[in-house]
Amino acid sequence: MVKLTYYGHSCVLLDDGRHKVLTDPFLTGNPQASVRAEDVACDYILLSHAHGDHLGDAPEIAKRTGAAIVAIPEVLGACEQRAQGLQGVPMNLGGTVKLPFGKVRMVPALHSSGVAGGIACGFIIYIADKVVYFAGDTALFPYMKLIAEQDAPDYALLPIGDNYTMGPDDAARAAEWLQARHVIPIHYNTWPVIAQDAAHFKAITEAATTAEVHILDPGTSCQLV
Ligand code: NI
Ligand code: MN
């Protein structure tokens, strides 16, 4: 069983009962955050890029917990400038690393990186018997069709906020291309500029695909099925 907890914005915790995998832990200064950086527990932190609303509290959480940061080398470098002696798992687009909970494949994202020489990415997270696509910040782009073919994700975590990423219409199209059985919207309602009606996204996505859309309020969890 894998439990998914949504902490708000793009911060999600996957817990298989033995390992905790955290994504983009922007908690301090996040008006939607449902946990404090000082309190969150994790073994791995996956970072999609170095913008402040993704890299967030990662260096301090990694320092406190001993969690390893999985990221592009340039993004890891930005973390190491803030905290010494971090555990890192450097990787790059197209690469797969085996980790104690399963494996992680780093895939492209169409977005800027927030650090010189870096590049934004998404992750395919294989944990227990589930495959979870964490899109990070991205525009809609046809590589998502390849993800459907190569990884057949059970869950797709997609940004719907618009302005900085794809909005609800493009995210619905992404869900169609990804053919995921389940979709969870992220990266919306944190600030007025990315305010969205998640119920509308659910309606248009479920009308266009066979996916089930799960709207999680920050601080709530679901079991992956
Ligand atoms: Ni960004
Ligand atoms: Mn962002």
CA 140 to chain centre: 15
Number of domains in the chain: 1
Give pLDDT, residue 24: 98
Instruction: Print the domain residue range for 148.
Output: 2-224
Global confidence as pTM: 0.98
**Dist CA 109 CA 53 (whole Å):** 16
Tell me how far apart the alpha carbons of residues 197 and 168 are, in angstroms, rounded to a whole number.
Answer: 9
What per-residue confidence (pLDDT) applies to 50? 98
What pLDDT is recorded for position 36?
Answer: 98
Q: How far is the CA of 188 from the centre of ligand 2 (A)?
A: 9
Rounded-to-integer distance, Cα 11 and Cα 212, Å = 21
For residue 6, the model assigns a pLDDT of: 98
Q: How far is the CA of 164 from the centre of ligand 2 (A)?
A: 7
CA of 110 to the centre of ligand 1 (A): 10
- Asked if 205 and 186 count as a contact pair (C-beta separation under 8 A), the reply is no
Token pair listed for 137: 């910040």
- Amino acid at site 126: Y
**Would you state the pLDDT for residue 55?**
98
| pLDDT < 70 positions in the chain | none
CATH number reported for the structural domain that contains residue 31 in this entry: 3.60.15.10
